[in-house]
Structure formats: structure tokens, C-alpha cells
Structure 1
Amino acid sequence: MPLRPISKSRPRLPGGDVANTAPPGPFFQGHSPPFPTCTWWVGFAAPPNQDAIAAGPFPYMSSCGDDGLAFGLPRKRDCDGVSVHQPAQLDWVASFREHRAGRTDRRAVVWDEQSVTVEYFSPPRTSLMTSFLVPGAPYMTFRYTNATPIFRCLESRIVSINGTAMCEGQTVHVSEPKITVVTENGVYLLYSLGMRLGVVASTFEIVATGPITGVLRIAFLAQPTHERALDASARSYPTGVCTEYEFQGDIGSMLFKWDVVGPTNTFIHLSWPHHRKALVSPQYLGADALSYLTIKGWMIPVRGTTWRLAYDLPLMDFHPPRRADGSCLPAIIRGLEYEVAALEDPPEPGDFYFWGGALAAKARLALIAEHVGRLDLVSRVVDYLAQSINHWMDTSYTRVQVAYETNWGAIINREGASNVHVDFGNGFMNDHLFHYGYILAAASTVARFRSDWLDETNGLASNREFLEWFVRDIANPSKEDPYFPIARHRDFFAGHSWASGIANGAGDRDQESLSEAINGAYGVLLYATVTRNSELRDFARLLIATEQAAGIYWHLNPHASPSDLDEPYPEPELRSLVTIGNVMQWQAGAWLFWGSQKAQIAAIQVLPVIPVNELYYRSPWVADMLRYVQSELDDPSVGDEWKSVIYLALSNVDPHRAMQLSLQLTSWGSGNTYTNQLHFIATRHNPSGRPIMPMERVLDLNGTFSLQASDGRWISSRSNRPELVADARSSSQAAGFSIGFAPGGVTIRHATTGQYVTADISGEHALSAARERVAAWEVFKLVPHPNHQPTSYAIVAGSNKQHVRICEDGRLLPNAPPAEAAIFTLGSAPAHKNPIGRFYMQHSGDATFLRVDDAGGKLLAAARTLGEADVFVWHGDAMSFQCERTRQFVTASPDGNWPLCAARDVAFAWEHVWVDQAEECAMEMTIRTLVNERFVVVDQDGTLVNSQEAPKLASRFAFVLA
């Protein structure tokens, strides 16, 4: 049944209307937008030349040139161990003598979800050649009207016509309803329907003897045995196809109904492997009767003018269909609390893709909180999402603006209208389904918890309308929508989407991530769910199910027989790679435009990890994929962001193993979170009933400690030298480090400076307490050492998975294998004795009190009475003190060559001091400046200098309550 339009409203967007710099050429003359932008044939219309080689109509490929329609059947196939290639092979140009070979003398007559009808004409349209380009047709079909047909041979010569050999300079006259043309590149059969075609043939051209009005069909004869089937079906040809949808509960069907001219009982159409997995009651003619090997496998004929393809529709939307395993709940909730608390200011969008992906990952936190019963955590996430999305909808916000592109009919990043590099070509309709799926998922999450948010307005439109335009951009189901094409990226016959739009002349169709294409439809599903649009919900579920079914072209079966016609790639060496990174119109291979690691290629076919994709992570592929990428999963230089999603795919097969591996990770990338990692695994099928979370001792350290190396040295770090160094002679000189939970490990924070310890990825630089906030490089794992006491640990840097060692100069470097790791004992943290309150300070050596010199603020041990002394205000844990009279904080120099002075309005690193009891007398104190870890002594002139390394040489002071 035809689906109704979601809406017919004209987009009213913050960026207004904009026309991109690639308007359609005269191919669409006589029509007005919206136009298709991602179909297999859009290269016929895209500038600059409108002559790109199109991805069809398979089994053929074609190109609309000025001099005619070029076509051919690709036959040269090879596999280089990474990709299989079957490049376009254009054997013929079809035209007619009356055509003047002008770019404006061809046009699209009509198109549907699968096919396009192209007309070449001679002004004033007295002679016509109309070609019905219908994917799956075994023939190329041309209808001539008062025109003299010409077929010009490309890249080869004609060898014979109906058995008569051709010689250079010779012509052959033939008048038959069927002409067999043998060229150097193969055999073609030319059929004239309802008439005898008279032609004059030379070595490079076949020309009709005069104008005709009638239909010619031409087919490549791959095998002599195929001729019988081609002869029998030649009189029935399709002019187009109607794609319909039916829904019965959780079964969705697509119906392909071809508009057929001629006897319907002899009509055949070619099927691809994905068709044959979904066809209901098909009547196959058989591969022996007719078949063609294409880039996506064998095409085999099916009898009948109507196909029904049935799919199980996904049942879940926001949540997985199972509760989280109880053993995982404490860890999930702890991670959830941490990651929600760690949300910073909502990001201001600067692009579509990266912003949308990161926002969708945060949206999962709200949904997980709902799923595990922590509704108290939802509102903070929803506030975060709403504030960020509201920037995007704000008419005054200019960093990125959403606009309606008027040349073709699309929602785009306004800046991208004139720059193909913005947002991966978004302004030229590349990747919209990738971008908008993330954004719709995040926005739908806000609407799930705040239904009134949909009715809020930015002055131009409500949030509901705003999101609806994005839905229509990628998932419009109806021809009646006046502003958007039907399901922009979907190729309904190919069974999947093409991510590429009209950039660069709309050249090769391609798609890397099938899972991100699924996510595009998933975003639509969530929007349909919160807006209670049941028809759109079913359409979104069907888009998801059909895209998932196309996984056979990305998820390979290395165990399949090369003779299995329902496997897309016969080449064993290709199928041994397990995962395709990019499917294009003429090649498919284990490679990406941007990366070459096996883990990247596998992960891009997994992410983002969303509830509906559990049906997509099929067990056989997951098992084979894990074996193929294992060497990189064991390699610490391969990023955790790729490993994390691979382990989530593994959880569909073995959640226990996936959880063990996931607990070794320290980062998850911008599109995933620690909480989502645990939650997805915890909601997998677990028929054994065993706890999914490992029961062995979980390291749960919280508190402040000193670190002591196995040779007895303690670890220090100070504000002017934040690097961690094993150089302290006593625990009192050691730095205190607060160890706290972080997803995937722990954080180590300097107890005095408040800075987090970080480790660079290269391992060339020392650990350093130098970061205000925690990111991936500030996460560590403390690994208990089996041969040492219970409080002894090796430290592993999350940044590069390397163990920490102590080099000769005492610096802690994250570049050691496990066998060379340093062992550290956690001890009691040194506790300062910094007082709180107002005190006089007395130098124990000569009983003088401290005062502040009026000239320069220097501290002097020179006052003989309290009346001459200054009062100092001490701030306890703030590690600072100031002169009450001048209100200036006491500061020290890093080199220890200058006296202490009360000369700072605010206390920073140079103003931090450490007070401790003197060993020989509990009533006397030593003062250590943290800027250089030196002790304060009273010099001969009475000034205080931070110059002594040993506490026994430090001056002693008594604190007298003021």
C-alpha cells in the first residue's frame, strides 16, 4: 500500500534557504525539485558533466553521454587479496541518426524508487529514443519513435553479424527480428519486438536502414545455454516498478510490482542473493538457464511480475528486550553515576556528524538510567541534551546553521552548500543518514522524558516540526511530499543504502558503515515512537530490517562454498577477510577511506551499538570476525575505541568473555560510554544463568596514599615540577595521591595541587600531575602483584596500555612491558600539620617572632616582642598563610634563592607550604615550600629562605595563638 507523507510543510530553518554550488543539469528539464540525490543513476543529472558511470541498471552499467546512452556488462573480475573488482565495461553506445549529440537533448521522463526512464530527443522532439533503465532486467530496452537506431561498438570490434564474419571496410545487411552480434568482448543478442529490423553493420557500428517506431532489446549472452531463456522472455519488458509496503504485526513486506509491456507469463527478472533470502514463494528459472556474476554476486532469474520480500521487523526501540543481569547492576550504576556527574557544559554544535554522535552516546545514559531504575539521574542528562540541541535550533546561533537546500531538496549544513569538505560533503547530500540518525536519537530521547519539549518553538517552528524535516530528509515514504525525495539514500533493489550523494559529479556509489546506515533508520524509529506515528514507525522498522538483511555484503562467510550462488563473493581469499569495509558499485573490499586496521574495518560495521542491532551481530560472523582481528585486539597500540564495540558484538555470542575483555579497557571513543558498554553486555541472552560480571576480586581503592618504590624511595611531585619522580627520602616528603574510581580504572590525583596524573601515549614523557580534568590519558589500572604484599601494585597507563617503570633519574615512565614494571606500595599519605586560625610565629633558634618588612614584604625573624610581630592567618588544607595586616599571601621562589615574602593577593602554586612536626620536639614545626620541596631556614640576616633539602637542617617554629 502507498504510505502517506509524514507532512507537506515547507522547511523553516535557522539557516533559511540556500542553493548549493552543484545544481542539477538539464537532465531534469521539465521537472522541479525535490530530486533524487543518492540513487544509482543520479550521475546522469549531477554536474559538471552529467555523464558519470552509473551503478546500473545491473547486471549492466551505463552512462548518459552527449552522443547517446553507453552501456555494457562488466565481466573482468579480479581479487587482489583485499578487494574484489569488477569495473564498468561500456561495450555500446545506443543512439539514433537524427540526434544532434547535445547535452540538453536528453532528459529524465519519469522515475520511481528503483528505475528511471531516459529520453534522448532531437528538437523539436520529432525523433525519440526512450530507454527504460530498470535494475534486474536481463536486457537493455530502447523504444524508438520515428528514429533511426544506431549501436556503436566501444573498445572492441564487431566480429560477426548473424554468423557472417566482418572484415575491415565491409558492411553487412541484415533484416531479422533477432540479430546475434559477436564482438571481441563477447556476444550480444539484439531483439526487435513485433518487426524485422533492417540494419547495415560495419566493424564498429550497427545502423538501422531507416527510421522506426518500435522497441529494441539487447542482452549479453554469457553462456550459449542462456540463449533459450533470453529468446523466450524478450517480448516482455518492464517500463518501471511500483514499490509497495505491507505490515502485518511484526512482519513487514516489500512488494516489487513491475509495469510490464507484453505477455506477463514469460516475464523474468534477475535476483541478487539478498532477494533470495527474503522472497516469498519465488519461481526461479534456474542459474543454468540464465545467470550473471556481478560485483554483489550471482543474479538469477525469477518468474513473475510481482515479488514479495518478507522481513521480521525489530521489536525493540529505546531499550533492549531483556533486563540487565543482576551481577552487572552495581557496576552499571556506579559507571552511570560517574558519567552523569562528569557531564560538563552542554556542547555547542560546530558540525553535524561528530556532535551528533557524541550527543547520541550521552542520550544512552538517560535511557540506561531509566532501564535500571535510576530515574533520579535522567533529568541531568536530558537537560544536557536539550541545551545542546537548542543551540542548533536557535536562529541567532551561527557556528553551524541548518538550511534547506533548494536545488535538489534537502536539509543541509548551510556552510556546506559551497564547500564539499564541510561535514563530509553534507551540503552535497553525502552521509545524511549517518548524520541525522544520531541527532534524531538524541532529540527523541529528550522528547521521551519531556513530551512538551516537542511543542517548544524557536520562533520559526516547533521542535517537533524541526525534527520532522530531518526525518523527511532521510526517510520520506511518499511521493506526495513536495520537498524531499523518497528515502534519500535507500536503493530498494540493491537492498541497502548508498551513503554518497552528488559530490564530485556523483561518481562511484559507495557505503562504508552499514551499521551507521541502520542507525539512521533507528533515529527515525525513535522519533516515530515518541510522536506515536505508527505508520512511520513501521516504515522505519522495515528500513532497519532490510538494511540489516544486506549485511551479507559486509559480513562474509569464509566457510561458504565458492559454488554457493547465494553467497555474494565466490572468491575464498576475499571471504577469508570476514568483513568488508566499503561496498562500491564496482568493487568491495576490506579497506576504508580513512583507516587500514582490521579492528577499524570490523568496528565500523558494528558501531554505534544500539538495541536494534542485536539481530545484526549474528553469531557466525562475530566468531569469524574475532578470530580475524585477534592479533590487533592483543595489540596495545590499537585503540580501545575500536576494541570496545567489537567486544559488544562478541557479547551477542559470549557475554561472559565480552565482559572480561571490556573490563580491560580504559576508553570507549566519543560514540560509546563505559556505562553503555556494561549495559549492552548485561542485557544479552544468557542461557547459562551464570553471572555475567566476573566474581573474582574487584579492585576498589578509594582514599589518599603515598607511593613507595620497591627500593625504598617515595614518589614526589610538586607544583613547579609536576612530574612524578622517585626521589623523596622520607614519607613526609612524598606527595599524597588521591585514588578514585574512573570508568575502566582509577584516577590518581595530587592531593595538594588537585591536578590529575596523566600519561602520554608515546611513553617518552614522565607521568605528570598536570591535568584539571579526566580524559582517556588520565585513567590508570592498578594491577595487584602476585609476589608482593597485598598493597603492592604495578601501574598501567590507560593511554598506551604500557606498564610504568622507574628510569635512572627517578622519573616514572609509561613504557615498560609487564616483566619490567616497577612495583609500588600504597602507604599512608603524609598528613600536614598546617593550622587553621590566627597565629604569631616564633623562630625556635633565637626566640624571635616573625614580622613582615614594610619595604618589600620579606618575612623576618626579628621581632623581640609580640607587639612588634605580625599575626599570620593560616588556612589549613588550603596549604597557605597570609599576613593579617597586609592581607598578602606568603610566596616562595622555585629556586630557593630569594626570601619568603608576603606579596601575593591570591594563593597559587608558589604560595603552598607544608607544615610538619619536628622529629625531636612535637611542639616545634618545620615548614616546607611545595614549589621546590625545600625546607625553610632562617638566614643570618633574619630572612626566611626555602633552600634546605634535609628536614634536620630546617629551622623550627612555634605557633602561638593570637
Structure 2
Amino acid sequence: MKPPRQLHRASPRTRSLRRPAAAITALALAAAAALTATVGAGSASAATVPVGLGSYSDSRPAGTVGPTNSDGAPVTPKVTARMAGKAAPTNDWWSSLIYQRYAGNPYSENLYAHPFTFKAAAGGLEVGYPTTPTVTSDGRQYDFTHTRDLTLGVAGLNSPDTKVDGWSDWTVTPYWADGAHTFSATIGHGLPYVYAHATGGAAQVTAAGTPTVFSNQGNVLGITVGGHNYGLFAPTGTSWTVNGSTLSAALGAKDYYSVAVLPSQADLALFRTYAYSFVTDTKVTWSYQAANGTLSTTYTATTTPQEGSQTGTLLALYRHQWLATGDALTSLTYTSPRGQMKVRQGSGFTTVQSVGGVLPSLPDVGSYDRAALAAYVRDQANASDPFLAATDTYWTGKALGRLAQLVPIADQLGDAATRDKLLGLIKGKMQTWFTGGGSPGFAYDSTWKTLIGYPASYGTDAELNDHHFHYGYFVQAAATVARYDSAWAADSAWGGMVKLLAKDAANSDRTDTRFPLLRNFDPYAGQGWASGHEGFAAGNNEESSSESLNFSSGLILYGSATGDGALRDLGIYLYTTEANAVEQYWFDADHAVFPASFGHHTVGMVWGSGAAYSTWWTASPGMIHGINVLPVTGGSLYLARRQDEIKANLAELKANNGGAFTDWRDLLWEFQALADPAAAKANWDSGIGGYTPEEGESKAHTYHWIYNLASLGTLDPAVTADTPTAAVFVNGATRTHVAHNYGTAARAVHFSDGTTLTVPARSTASERGSFQDGGSGGTTGSPSPTPTPTPSPTSTVPATTGNTFYLQAGGALSTAYGAAAAVDTIPSAGGANHDGTPYQAKVYEIRNVSGTLRSGAATDFDLYVDAGTGVGLGQQVRVSYDLTGSGTFSRVETFRYFATDPVTGWERYSGAGAGLLSATGTLGNLDHGTIRVEVWSAIGNGPAQLRVGASQAQGSVSVLRIPFN
């Protein structure tokens, strides 16, 4: 099959299918045409580097290839002398600058930084700001394609190439030189400025057409080109000269200038304030707060003034960022393929996100036929070829993942022999791969600072594609082994090789120069990128976001199983961040990202320029929808946070597919089970006899998954825990708390809804049952009695302390659940707009509250509201804190309103989901303070209902959570 033609700068190149004559899965980058050259084959001097009991080679096997261009010739990182030898950041939004994929283009392909777009050329840097999307004639793809408005450079520049002269976490500095001139430009995600340095001539900006000058202040020029407004800032004491479409400024003894894209002409003065405060470094840091189940991520831009003393800058935040920050934002916005970007004034910002749990497996609560399930498991373990003839890293990884999902099922069934056989198969295969010196095995490329598995596939070698996809399966399988055999996973045994694979795709140690920082993850965009070289007109891309999250959830599980807190927390950062990005950019959960002219509600691929309802190899709707579901594991629970979107996703699939699931039915049933387990169970029951499992799936796992969810119900995403390996499910009035404990001693797991669950060592526990994992060596104990969850005290807790408060009828907040559900009526907005301003609000308050502010925590709530069949209603919440009870509210937080649907039934309005609209004042410790919640109708012509006073057993409990201990 051929990739979409418009995405390639040359003629389309065929991507070979993953498995002939079978339903096939996809990775996110097409491989190049078959390469016949054997570039840099292994030599007699090759050495094996030991890592515990495993090893890798420092030279690839004979007859194999490493990174090459599209003609099959080897390539090296395209960097300046001062960056030589540093780990090249492949798989980034700007990688075509450093990885020359096409022999005829030594500059770059289109670069999508957002809000800017760029392209390097001989005369400098093309700059654009596309604001109008195009949709392909078949309606399958939308793009905000790079279109040049300006070219930035220095007069007379004609460079033979562009090299990279530096990079930071989300910026890059390309560099041009032709012997008489030099030019460099620091550009990056969220930067509305280009920071330029030029020598050998005047600063020169060439417009695509004759610009309109709307402001001329000598060294500061405001122009409009192609309908977009720009500010040009030369050093003080110089001035811009306009000659047709060419704008120039003699720099004299100075070597700097900057250009900004302006939200409007009126913003020129503000942008002048920071025009000479050049961003010289960017850095992301993260912190997991286990006690309150949150992840705090801080984005910091370091600035250096070129003149004056101004510091700080302006940063444009993506939607997944501004939804999660409590930091003040300006009213300025930009258009981007990821929806609206909002501008922050300062040197950085912090986001706080709830950490959704992952489970190593679902608990054993399903009403399945245990004998039939056991037979399905044994069919896989006893197959003549359990690995289905897999030879390369992808298909071997898929097979490892499929078998690993069966291990806990066999254990739950008490079939120790099958469990241990499966573990033996997994260990044996990985140990073969983890022993260097040949193929299969791993080889380190010291030029590109990467570990490549051979036999390779889908360009993991020649293009450095998809390492996180392939290696994620290895890490997940290793996490299963570590759960049952901790000795095997020790660093001194085979665990060192597992961690080395993890480092290749996601190195978080800035002192480890063997690999670039977070190769496959873009910390500012919040998602992975699959192409090693980014050699496309549409920028970089990622197809199977779910395989990216398979990698990060594997890090959580493997880090937890081996006691490596840093690896676990890295996994939490990647998983939490990308889960929120996927929700917005692949599934458009809030219907605020995809252009109105794009007729789809989900996409198979995200590109730098936009997104596509397609895959690399097929137009089958089942595979387009399924590619962002597979593989289904206990790390797939992030997909269940928006059950309404799962239903809409599958409704679109059926509409495009003749009303039925055809390809990958098992994956789609499992996806359906996250939102409607009864329907999924009915589909399984009627379809079990007539389908072939997807290559990474098995009938045993699909049966186990669907029937367990039919008993557990659906995920409650509002409840977090003080461990990342926990989740809560709701089935009618029944709530099931589930947690896994990898430790060697029992521990109490605390859930944010007030429940405490005691989990025995090396076990999964729930209200409904538990089973003991085996100790080192794979042995197992017999099933133990159900651990009884211990709810936190309610009636004895004083009303003056606590961080969880329940809304009660009559306007009270209480640390205890209510006795009986009631309804408060929220008056109509009367057709007016009260967004941000309370109007006839329902008020709930508690006084005499004391508590210590928790670092990095944020206000959150779950309110259950219903507008019946009313249309166009939106309920809104304001939470106010009087820290000392003085009568003055020191901190007031107003959240975005919640648009209710016109269907009778309770809907959950959450603080984390809505995000802050505005906040004033600051938080501190509570000392006999007052907390007030106001709920009103921001828009609409009808009243709404708010559920209050509900007991835990009744469910749908309206609750406020405050960031205090």
C-alpha cells in the first residue's frame, strides 16, 4: 500500500505490509523502498558489551543497514563542529534539519513548531503562520500546511546547507554559513518569536509579497503579509528599510534581530517588550505526587537579554497544557492544528494533571466458563510455534506481549504449569535477543547514539523509526516476568538490557550521553513522534498512539515491579501527558481541535500539519479506529476516561463500515467494553466462533477482558489512588476498588474517594477477590480470602479538617457522605451570558477548616448535573478560599462551564476536565478558614439539576477536593 501522496516531497514509496494475507497492525512511519546496500556491515573488530547477564554489540551484524538516506547511502548527523559527537535528537518535530533523508535537500523539510511553521532554504529560514486548514478531496485529512510569508536571513546569504548548532527540550537552532555570511535562528514549540543572529551583512527579511507596513518605529517594524501580522525588531539605534518585498536593517556592530508573529496589530507594543529577551534554553521537569495522585510538570524557558535588562518571554500553550495549568494566561491566542493556543507572559508555567492508574491485569471477577478460558490459554502456550514465526523486533515484541497477557490469567485459574511455561517462553525469547553478537540481537550505533534491534523492521534501522513502539512490547513482557520472578529482572541479570531499551526510546538522564533526551517523546507537544528523520511535507507523525502509551505504561509497571522509582515516575510522566494529548488530538474529545470542515471525530494519524482519518497501509475503518487501541492491556484504561467518546468513536466506525465490526473485531469489542461492557459481551458471545484474533491478541485475553469488565463495570476516572497501579470501576450502585502491590510487605492503598484497601504483598486485591502472585522463580500461593476494603472514617471525622467535602442539601459542605440523594435546582441563565460571573448561584460552604497546603496540588471536584432535554445549557463553578476566616476570600478560582447534553441523566462535571477559566489571589495554609462553592448557569434558557446528599452506595456523589492536608 502507498502512503498518502501529498505527504511526500518525492513520489510515494511503498510500505511493505507487516504480515501478508492477514489483518495487520501498523506503526507510525512508512519504511523507505527496499534497500539493497549493506552499509557499514559488522567488522572483525566488533565487540560485545556486557550488561548484566545480557549484552549488545558495538557494531551491527554483517549484511544489515544503519541510518541511510532515501538513496540507501549512509548519513551522519548534520551538525556544526561544536555539536559534533552529541546525541542527535531524532524523532522530533525538527529532525529533518539534522537527518538528511533526501540527497537533494541539505536544508530541511517543513517544520511545524506551532504557532510558526518553518522551512530551511539556501537564503535562510522560511517563516509561515497558516490559519486556514485545507481538507483533502476525499475528506480524510486536514492540514495547516506551511506557506511562506517571510524568509529570514542576512543580505547575500547563499548557504550550501543548513546544520544544527544547538537544541534544548523544545527548541532548535539551525545554522547557515557560506564563507562570507553566517546566520542562525532559535525556533521552538510555543515560541511566537524567531531569535536570529547574523554576520557579514544587513539583517534581511524577504516577504512573499509586498508587505503592508502598519507601524514604523525605526528599529521596530509592524507588517502584514498574507493576512498575518508580524513584528520585526532590530537593535536599538538601527532602522528597517523597506524596498518592495525586501526589508533590511544594517546591524553595524550588533549581530541580532528577532521576528514575532502577532495575534493582532495592537499587540506590537507588548511583543516589543520581550523582543530582545532571547530564549536560550528550555527545560521540562516533572514530579509525581503519590499522596494526591497528581503529576506536576514545569516548563521553563531561560532567557538572555541582547540589550537592556528585560527577562522573561511570551509562550503559547497547547490545549492539553492550558487546560491543566492554574497559571495566569493573557487573552492572546493563536491558531494551530491542535486547536487554540493561549499565551502566557513569563518564563514558564506548571501543569497539574490527575494520574490515571494502570493495572498489570484485570482482577479475576468475571463469570466466564473457567474450563473454556483455561483451554484458550493452553492453546497459546502449547502451540507448535507460540511466536507465529516472528523474527524482527516488532513481530517478536507483539508475540511477547500476547503471551505476557496470558500469564496472570493462567495464574488466576490456578494453572501453575501453564503459567510457568508461558514465563519460560517469554524469558527464553528475550534472553536470545538480549545476548549480543549477532541477529537476533541489539547493536549500538555510536554515530546516532541509538540501540537498534536486528532483524529490524519498518525502518527502525534505516530511518530510526518506531523504537518506542517495538521496544514497548519488550518492556511490557519484562514487567510481567518481573511480577513473578524478581531475580530475572535484576539489573545484574537481564533487567539491565530492559532498561537499556527503555533508555534508547526515552532517556531521562541528562548526564547519560549514550542517548538523546526522550528520543520518541516531544515534551512540549505532549506526544510521541514515530519518524526518525521527519522527512515529510506534513512534518513528523504518529499513527498508533496506543503503542506509544503501551511503552510508557510498561515503564510504570516495570519500574514498580523492580523498585526503580525514577523509571516508574518517568513512565507516569509520559503516560499521563500523552493520554491527555491523545484525548484532545486523536479523539477530539471536547470537539475543539478538528476543523469544522473535517468530517471525522477521530483520526488514525496525527501529523505536524494536522491529522488524517487513515493508516499507512489501509483505508479499512476498523483498522483506522483500532490502530489507536492496540494492544489492549491494563495500561489501556486511559481510553475509558471519556466513555461518551468511545461510543461516538464506534458509532462513526459503524457508520463508515456498513453498521458492523469486521476487521479486528476482538480489539473493537475490547474497546467497546470500556464504555458498554454489556454490549461487548453480547458481541463476543455471538461472534466467538467466527473471527480470527488480531496478531497481538488471543481469544483467552479477549474473553477474560470482556467478561471481567462485564462484572466490574466502567472506569471511574475521577478517583485516584496513592499508587499508579490502581483503578476504580462502577457497575450500577457497585464500586470496585482494585490495586496491585509489587512490594514484599502488605500495604494500604488510599483512594481519593475515602476508601482504603489493604493489599497483600505481591498481589492484586479488590473488594471481590484477590490472588497471590508467585515469588521469585515463578511459584505461586493459593488464592487468599477477599481483603475487606476499609473505608476512611466518616461520622467521626470533625467537620473542621479534611480535604474531601461532599455537597449537601441546604448549602452545606461535609466531610461525610450524605444520607440520601437529593436535588438542588440551578436557576436558568435567562438567555444571557454569565460566563465567569455567578448568577443566582447555589452556594455551599463550610467554615472553621484548617489544613496545610500541598505542593503541586490543585482544586478538583466532581459535580453531577442534569439539564434534562434542555439545549445549550452550561453550568459553572467558582471555588473560594478565605484562609483565616476573616471574611475576605484570599483565593478565588473560576472553572470553565460544562455544556450539558440534551439527554436526561446525570453527567459528571469535573474540575480537571473543565480546567480553570480564571484565578485570583494565592493559596496558603488554612487556619480556621472558610471554603465556598458557587454553582450557577453560565448560559442557556432553562434550569438544571445538581445531585447532592448522595451516599457512597448510591453513587454519582457531588464532591469537592481541596489541595490541603
**Which TM-score bucket, shorter chain as reference?**
0.5 to 0.7
Shift of 1:507: 7.3
Tell me the residue number matched to 2:442: 402
Shift of 1:350: 1.6
Cα distance between partner residues in 1 of 2:50 and 2:157? 40
Shift of 1:187: 3.5
Cα distance between partner residues in 1 of 2:117 and 2:50? 35
Residues 1:622 and 2:635 are matched in the alignment: no
Cα distance between partner residues in 2 of 1:8 and 1:491? 31
Residues 1:608 and 2:642 are matched in the alignment: no
Shift of 1:414: 4.4
Shift of 1:40: 1.1
Shift of 1:223: 3.5
- 1:319·1:371 contact (CA, 8 Å) conserved in 2? no
Tell me the residue number matched to 1:391: 432
Residues 1:73 and 2:125 are matched in the alignment: no
Shift of 1:361: 0.7
Tell me the residue number matched to 2:520: 489
Residue by residue, what CA displacement relative to the aligned partner does 1:783-825 show, whole Å, maximum 9, x if unpaired? Answer: xxxxxxxxxxxxxxxxxxxxxxxxxxxxxxxxxxxxxxxxxxx
Shift of 1:509: 0.2
Give the number of equivalent residue pairs: 644
Cα distance between partner residues in 2 of 1:226 and 1:539? 39
Alignment of 1:11-50 (within 5 A): 12-14=55-57, 16-17=59-60, 19-21=66-68, 22-30=74-82, 31-47=84-100, 48=103, 49-50=105-106
Tell me the residue number matched to 1:256: 299
Shift of 1:648: 1.1
Residue by residue, what CA displacement relative to the aligned partner does 1:117-158 show, whole Å, maximum 9, x if unpaired? Answer: 33445659xx654422132122222234675211122xx322
Cα distance between partner residues in 2 of 1:345 and 1:25? 40
- 1:160·1:182 contact (CA, 8 Å) conserved in 2? yes
Residue among 672, 687, 696 paired with 1:650: 672
Cα distance between partner residues in 1 of 2:443 and 2:344? 44
Residues 1:95 and 2:153 are matched in the alignment: yes
Tell me the residue number matched to 1:293: 335
Shift of 1:302: 1.6
Cα 1:98–1:357, aligned 2, differ >3 Å: closer, same or farther?
A: same
Residues 1:412 and 2:452 are matched in the alignment: yes
Cα 1:672–1:90, aligned 2, differ >3 Å: closer, same or farther?
A: same
- 2:213·2:224 contact (CA, 8 Å) conserved in 1? yes
Cα distance between partner residues in 2 of 1:254 and 1:656? 38
Residue by residue, what CA displacement relative to the aligned partner does 1:882-940 show, whole Å, maximum 9, x if unpaired? Answer: xxxxxxxxxxxxxxxxxxxxxxxxxxxxxxxxxxxxxxxxxxxxxxxxxxxxxxxxxxx
Tell me the residue number matched to 1:137: 191
Shift of 1:385: 1.6
Residues 1:111 and 2:167 are matched in the alignment: yes
Residues 1:272 and 2:318 are matched in the alignment: yes
Residues 1:359 and 2:400 are matched in the alignment: yes
Residue by residue, what CA displacement relative to the aligned partner does 1:382-412 show, whole Å, maximum 9, x if unpaired? Answer: 12222322332345764x4421122211111
Q: Secondary structure at the match of 2:569?
A: helix
Shift of 1:443: 3.0
Which stretch shows the higher mean deviation, 666-675 or 8-17? Answer: 8-17
Residues 1:223 and 2:258 are matched in the alignment: no
Alignment of 1:838-877 (within 5 A): none
Tell me the residue number matched to 1:582: 605
CA RMSD, Structure 1 to Structure 2 (Å): 3.2
- 1:98·1:122 contact (CA, 8 Å) conserved in 2? no
Tell me the residue number matched to 2:42: none
Q: Secondary structure at the match of 1:132?
A: strand
Tell me the residue number matched to 1:844: none
For 2:174, give the aligned amino acid.
Answer: V
- 1:327·1:691 contact (CA, 8 Å) conserved in 2? no
Shift of 1:371: 4.1
Residues 1:311 and 2:353 are matched in the alignment: yes
Shift of 1:528: 2.0
Q: Secondary structure at the match of 2:247?
A: strand
Cα distance between partner residues in 2 of 1:110 and 1:610? 39
Alignment of 1:194-205 (within 5 A): 195-205=236-246
Residue among 605, 616, 622 paired with 1:599: 622
Tell me the residue number matched to 1:662: 684
Cα distance between partner residues in 1 of 2:171 and 2:51? 27
Residues 1:325 and 2:348 are matched in the alignment: no
Which stretch shows the higher mean deviation, 472-481 or 181-190? Answer: 181-190
Gaps of 5+ in 2: 1-48, 69-73, 714-729, 736-965
Cα 1:96–1:674, aligned 2, differ >3 Å: closer, same or farther?
A: same
For 2:335, give the aligned amino acid.
Answer: L
Cα distance between partner residues in 1 of 2:516 and 2:93? 14
Residues 1:438 and 2:473 are matched in the alignment: yes
Residue among 114, 119, 140 paired with 1:63: 119
Cα distance between partner residues in 1 of 2:477 and 2:561? 12
Cα distance between partner residues in 1 of 2:75 and 2:158? 24
Tell me the residue number matched to 1:680: 705
Shift of 1:255: 0.7
- 1:148·1:208 contact (CA, 8 Å) conserved in 2? yes
Tell me the residue number matched to 1:569: 594
Higher relative contact order by CA 8 Å / sep ≥ 6: 1 or 2?
2
Alignment of 1:620-769 (within 5 A): 620-631=644-655, 638-639=662-663, 642-663=664-685, 664-665=687-688, 666-684=691-709, 685-686=712-713, 687-688=730-731
For 1:29, give the aligned amino acid.
Answer: A
Cα distance between partner residues in 2 of 1:102 and 1:50? 7
Q: Secondary structure at the match of 2:197?
A: strand
Residue among 327, 332, 338 paired with 1:282: 327
Shift of 1:264: 6.3
Tell me the residue number matched to 2:485: 450
Cα 1:539–1:395, aligned 2, differ >3 Å: closer, same or farther?
A: closer
- 1:20·1:407 contact (CA, 8 Å) conserved in 2? no
Gaps of 5+ in 1: 1-6, 164-173, 417-421, 561-566, 693-962
- 1:425·1:503 contact (CA, 8 Å) conserved in 2? no
Tell me the residue number matched to 1:525: 556
Residues 1:339 and 2:385 are matched in the alignment: no
Tell me the residue number matched to 2:210: 158
- 2:220·2:240 contact (CA, 8 Å) conserved in 1? no
- 2:604·2:628 contact (CA, 8 Å) conserved in 1? yes
- 1:134·1:240 contact (CA, 8 Å) conserved in 2? no
Shift of 1:434: 0.7
Cα distance between partner residues in 2 of 1:455 and 1:536? 14
Cα distance between partner residues in 1 of 2:232 and 2:448? 37
Residue by residue, what CA displacement relative to the aligned partner does 1:661-702 show, whole Å, maximum 9, x if unpaired? Answer: 12213322111111211222233332446999xxxxxxxxxx
Cα 1:53–1:632, aligned 2, differ >3 Å: closer, same or farther?
A: closer
Cα distance between partner residues in 2 of 1:486 and 1:210? 36
Tell me the residue number matched to 1:472: 503
Cα 1:374–1:92, aligned 2, differ >3 Å: closer, same or farther?
A: same
Cα distance between partner residues in 1 of 2:681 and 2:192? 50
What TM-score comes out, normalization by structure 1 length?
0.62
- 2:586·2:605 contact (CA, 8 Å) conserved in 1? no
Identity of matched residues, %:
19
Tell me the residue number matched to 1:536: 567
Tell me the residue number matched to 1:728: none
Shift of 1:212: 4.3
- 1:405·1:412 contact (CA, 8 Å) conserved in 2? yes
Which stretch shows the higher mean deviation, 445-454 or 41-50? Answer: 445-454
Cα 1:264–1:532, aligned 2, differ >3 Å: closer, same or farther?
A: farther
For 1:257, give the aligned amino acid.
Answer: T
For 1:313, give the aligned amino acid.
Answer: V
For 1:180, give the aligned amino acid.
Answer: G
Cα distance between partner residues in 2 of 1:294 and 1:348? 44
Cα distance between partner residues in 2 of 1:680 and 1:530? 22
Tell me the residue number matched to 1:51: 107
Cα distance between partner residues in 2 of 1:189 and 1:436? 45
Q: Secondary structure at the match of 1:550?
A: helix
Larger radius of gyration: 1
For 2:485, give the aligned amino acid.
Answer: R
For 1:261, give the aligned amino acid.
Answer: T
